[in-house]
Structure 1
Amino acid sequence: MKEVKHIIEAYEKIDFSARKVVLATVVRVAGSSYRNPGARMLIMDNGQWVGSISGGCLEGDAMRKARQVMRSQQPMLVTYDTMDDDHNELRIGLGCNGVVDVLLEPVAAPGESHSLDHLRGLLTLSSLGVAALVYHSDDHHIIPGERLLLLNDEGLNADYCSAALTDIIGEDLPTILTSRKSATRSYPVDGGTLEVLFEVVEPSIEVLIFGAGADAQPVVNLAKSLGWRVTISDECIAHLAPVHFPMADQLVSCQRGFVNREITVSPYTAIVLMSHNYDYDLEVLKQIVKSEAPYIGILGPKKRADKLFAALEAANINLTEQDLQRIHSPIGLDIGAETADEIALSILSEVLAKFAGRSGGFLKYHKGPIHKRQGVDDQVFKQVYLHSEDDQQQIG
């Protein structure tokens, strides 16, 4: 969501009386690509842009194509074939070995732009959803750029599409939501086909840190650089000086016995216990171990974690296999971290791996493609693993 946030922030500062703007969205990827479907880039007629649709290979040509869209004020679907470095149309060696489809849409001023108003809505997500985007249409009742949104806890949002689109694809959104897999689908319509990207969207990760010591500072700063929300809690208010954590979203002074009452934990919360105080960590752990958080990391050696587990058992708090899958101690990935900054990198790398359903190992030893693909046409799609029936099989 960090990229979406930056796009919206830039969009709201544009003087539309002087500027023309285009939104570029990756809608389909077959084979390999630097970015997956859903990657976005806001392009302005003064040569500036925010976001990206590749590792820098496609942006220049996308800007040239965007100028055509600015003049015509009509959406355009552009296909980049990077399979053959010697014969690609951009005359540069991309090395991606994939085919990338990008939708370029003209963008209107705030209040008049469905595409950007739709994106703004994604920033407030509190649960899983599916965003459908039309990127090709032979039906004159439906135009490229129309959008339909299904949120798990709010239902269908059809503010950005025609009734004709809802009639055709409306029943497919719950199926995509249940599968937790992004997809593209083609529908027969009068005169040809309708092609739609179904993108699984989810809220940003929130990191909840218990313990406001000096070693929490790099964790906060790195998490914020990733676009995550960060909350820090400590029962010593002196430790929570804003000057020490200027990037944190929230500082919560909370006594250890009132964590359940004062602090909210969601299915998108990663909890990190790093107070260096055994009794404090134990009391907090008693209250959050049965929460919805899919990740609980505890700083310290394995012997300390074993002692905490034994204390939980003595308090009649029995840890299930699922609980043990969620608890990580020693915390972090094994990257040889020693300094506070390196430990922060190790911790947040593990958090990202957990939410992405990855093991965190070396990619050179990964068998098969890096990104999940559909076997029939080699398309790349995002999959959400957390809180599904496949959790234990996909995530360790």
Structure 2
Amino acid sequence: MKEFKTILNAYQATDFTKRKAALATVVQVKGSSYRSPGARMLMLDNGRWVGSISGGCLEGDALRKARQVILSGEARTITYDTSNDDDNQLGIGLGCNGIIDILIEPIDASLDHNPITQLEAFLKYDNLGAMATVFESDVPDIPVSSTVEYNHLSKTIGQSDLLNQLLKNDLLEVINNQKPQIKDYPIANGSIKVFFELIQPGIDLLIFGGGFDAKPVTELAHTLGWNVRVTDECVAHLVPINFPLADQLQPCKREFVAKDIKITPFTAVVLMSHNLKYDEEVLSQIIGSDAPYMGILGPKKRAEKLFSTLRNKYHIDISKEQMNKIHAPIGLDIGAETPDEIALSIISEIQAKFSNRSGGFIKYRTGPIHHRDGKEDQVFRQVYLKNCFPKRKAN
């Protein structure tokens, strides 16, 4: 989500009476690639860009292609084959062993609905979103870059009735199964190829406790583009100067946590108040929430006291599923000692949790770094968290 925010901020800061722009989106990857499908880059006609579609090796050529797209006013898909070490199509042999399709679309800022405003709409969602984008087409009525999206109102909206009816059921299937895909559609007068993308909200970090060691956690989370909230029952702890990068500082008495604090399936909860009684009350109220991650600062024996109190005082038997969500002691084992190192350990563990990864050394990973479809070795960005949208049946 940080990339979306950065692109949107750059778009809003651009004077389109003087500048023109295009948006590049990775729509298909076969083999290895630095970025997964869904990665985006906003490019201006003066050579500036925001976001990325690779590790820096494709951006220069994409800028040249973007100028052509801006001049023609027509979207096009560019294919880069980085699998050949001796292929000098970009002036260098990349040797990344992948084939990457990039959709480049001209941006008309005068339109209320364009590729950037679509991203803005997804930023406002509080749930999973999905979009189907045509990136290959020889059908006159369905040009490249045509889309159908699944919005926060649980409706599918296509840029044409034909496309909406054609893709609606498959888009709902992607939502229900939470699996992106690429699909070909033969049509009477041609065919189209479509990228089905799941768009996940950014991580919502909720910190209970406004101590000095919470500050580096908020700063690092902000750097990653997460939404950061800090709450404490002591107003004196929530001094804005101590948490300049927090999105929200919310005082809340411990007994009102369940009532006043919002928790979603995209919320990571961190308990770091250094107050055992406070943590007991908070944990008793949030243990049954939708948060997929709950981290508790402190040694293992402290956590065991918390669990014992939940059983004996609050009569809460922690289920296996709930225990899987709780991380105590919090953080990855990186030898952290200082507040900044501990913050890195905490944030890294949360990232691993939301990505369904173990947090180990990549060198020891036996499979590919990115999730791949075994049939065609296609790379997809996966979503592992709970989908709040009600399942809908295809028509």
In 2, are the aligned partners of 1:272 and 1:297 still within 8 Å (CA)? yes
- Cα deviation, 1:300-337, whole Å, max 9, x if unaligned, reads 00011111101111021010000100000000001111
The residue type paired with residue 372 of structure 2 is: R
In 2, are the aligned partners of 1:135 and 1:195 still within 8 Å (CA)? yes
After superposition, the Cα gap between the structure-2 partners of 1:113 and 1:20, relative to the gap in structure 1 and judged at 3 Å, is farther
Alignment of 1:105-144 (within 5 A): 105-144=105-144
SS of 1:385's partner is coil
Which residue matches 2:185? 187
Which residue matches 1:264? 262
Q: What root-mean-square deviation, in Å, do the aligned CA atoms of Structure 1 and Structure 2 show?
A: 1.2
- Cα deviation, 1:199-229, whole Å, max 9, x if unaligned, reads 0111111000000000000000000111000
The answer to whether structure 1 residue 349 and structure 2 residue 332 are counterparts is no
The residue type paired with residue 47 of structure 1 is: G
Give, in whole Å, the separation in 2 of the partners of 1:360 and 1:191: 49
The answer to whether structure 1 residue 301 and structure 2 residue 294 are counterparts is no
Which residue matches 1:149? 149
In 2, are the aligned partners of 1:139 and 1:190 still within 8 Å (CA)? no
The residue type paired with residue 3 of structure 1 is: E
Give, in whole Å, the separation in 2 of the partners of 1:13 and 1:112: 17
1:122 is displaced (CA, Å) by 0.8
Give, in whole Å, the separation in 2 of the partners of 1:190 and 1:309: 63
In 2, are the aligned partners of 1:237 and 1:253 still within 8 Å (CA)? yes
Structure 2 alignment gaps of length 5 or more: 388-395
Percentage of identical aligned residues? 53
Tell me whether 313-322 or 11-20 shows the greater mean CA deviation.
11-20
Which residue matches 1:380? 379
1:74 is displaced (CA, Å) by 1.0
SS of 2:318's partner is coil
In 2, are the aligned partners of 1:85 and 1:94 still within 8 Å (CA)? yes
SS of 1:46's partner is coil
Which residue matches 1:273? 271
Give, in whole Å, the separation in 2 of the partners of 1:13 and 1:179: 37
Which residue matches 2:35? 35
SS of 1:371's partner is coil
- Cα deviation, 1:345-364, whole Å, max 9, x if unaligned, reads 11011111111111111111
SS of 1:243's partner is helix
Which residue matches 1:89? 89
SS of 1:177's partner is helix
Give, in whole Å, the separation in 1 of the partners of 2:243 and 2:373: 43
Q: TM-score, normalised by structure 1?
A: 0.95
1:113 is displaced (CA, Å) by 4.6
Give, in whole Å, the separation in 2 of the partners of 1:98 and 1:30: 6
In 2, are the aligned partners of 1:130 and 1:200 still within 8 Å (CA)? yes
In 1, are the aligned partners of 2:134 and 2:143 still within 8 Å (CA)? yes
- Of structures 1 and 2, the one with the larger relative CO (CA 8 A, separation 6+) is 2
Give, in whole Å, the separation in 2 of the partners of 1:87 and 1:305: 56
Alignment of 1:155-304 (within 5 A): 155-158=154-157, 161-304=159-302
Structure 1 alignment gaps of length 5 or more: 389-396
Give, in whole Å, the separation in 2 of the partners of 1:296 and 1:110: 44
In 1, are the aligned partners of 2:300 and 2:329 still within 8 Å (CA)? yes
1:192 is displaced (CA, Å) by 2.7
Which residue matches 1:364? 363
Which residue matches 2:390? none
1:382 is displaced (CA, Å) by 1.6
SS of 2:240's partner is coil
